[in-house]
Amino acid sequence: MVRLLASPVSVMIVLFARAITAVRAVWPESGVASRRVVYFANHSSHGDFILIWTVLPPRLRRRTRPVAGADYWLKSRLNAFIGRDIFNAVLIERDREKRSEDPIAQMTAALDAGSSLILFPEGTRNLTEAPLQPFKSGLFHLAQARPDIDLVPVWINNLNRVLPKGEIVPIPLICTVTFGEALRIGAGEDKAAFLMRAGAALLTLSPKPPGNGE
């Protein structure tokens, strides 16, 4: 029954996301990546991966899995149905003391099985005034483990205003999902340099603030 429900509900979620946000994808000059990749994005809402998932072409959407916190997506039957059954999320236990699996091993296993991933290197939602929080080390370790996989920066704009923290009724606003050119870890590149470069690639996709001469 769960499997039968998952497909039509996923279509409803896509239609609802498009209706509320009128979300528009902005692709890089190289176009849509057809191979397996890791999309890494800014994080300001629980709906972030839904927007990325929504704008992907159906053939890519079917094999793209968000990486998400098990504590949130398994806390209720509804959450589990959405996160595990509809989106087929790679569910990571964020509490180190409770982990029975290595998160990097979980992600590499998904990549090796042919899936693409959606990853949020900040780790938690950004509720600060800064455009990005410092990246956690997971993206670096994943890039090290699979250096042949392209890493695609993705900037999600406006979704934090559609569904602010603590609200349950979304506010209709236009959102954009901007995809950048893929990058890979360099030979011998250390963690600090790589994460700085990845963060800079992501920030270049963010809308320019007013008054900066753009």
- Asked if 106 contacts 90 with a C-beta cutoff of 8 angstroms, the reply is yes
Q: Tell me the per-residue pLDDT of 146-191, one tens digit each, with 9 for 90 and over.
A: 999 999 999 998 766 655 555 555 666 778 999 999 999 999 999 9
pLDDT of residue 210: 45
pLDDT of residue 171: 62
DSSP state of 98: G
* Homologous superfamily assigned to 2-203: Glycerol-3-phosphate (1)-acyltransferase (3.40.1130.10)
- Asked if 152 contacts 1 with a C-beta cutoff of 8 angstroms, the reply is no
Per cent of the chain over pLDDT 70 is 89
pLDDT of residue 11: 87
Alpha carbon distance 2, 165 (integer Å): 29
Q: Tell me the per-residue pLDDT of 79-132, one tens digit each, with 9 for 90 and over.
A: 899 888 899 999 999 888 888 899 999 999 999 999 999 999 998 888 888 889
Q: Tell me the per-residue pLDDT of 61-83, one tens digit each, with 9 for 90 and over.
A: 989 999 998 988 888 988 899 88
Domain ranges for the chain, please list them: 2-203
Q: Give the residue-averaged pLDDT of 6-33.
A: 88
pLDDT of residue 94: 84
